[in-house]
Amino acid sequence: MKWTDIASNWAAFVPRITTRWPELNENEVIAIDGNQDAFIAYLASFNDQDMTTAKSEVDEWMMGEQPTDAVMHPTRDNARISASSDNIPAGEDPSDDDRRFGDDTTPQPPVARPD
């Protein structure tokens, strides 16, 4: 993951940051607003570390998973909806409301069990 992704979706990453570093003040993390240098400096001062150690911790944390809500982006959503049509039956538009087809309220039989 790149810091530009984190900075542009800072609000989505705040819960993940406070989970990784629970001792940090959430309001102060929010106020950093995606500034990498400010976050590293805050982390270093809070944990009484040097900047290199704090940056290493942040780099290690960045190697983890990205939150789902940070991945969603308006410029990519339409492409994902269009790609989902590969799994949609013929005649159904991927962006349509499924209730129109009448199958949302019909319970499905359990998988791998006879009807």
Position 8 scores a pLDDT of 86
| Amino acid (one-letter) located at 80 | R
In a domain, 91, yes or no: no
Does residue 102 surpass a pLDDT of 60? no
> How far is 40 from 71, CA to CA, in rounded Å?
23
Q: What is the span of the domain harbouring residue 50?
A: 3-65
In a domain, 20, yes or no: yes
In a domain, 109, yes or no: no
HSE of 1, CA atoms in CB hemisphere, 13 A? 20
In a domain, 16, yes or no: yes
Query: pLDDT of 2-39, one tens digit each?
Result: 888 888 888 888 888 998 999 999 999 999 999 999 99
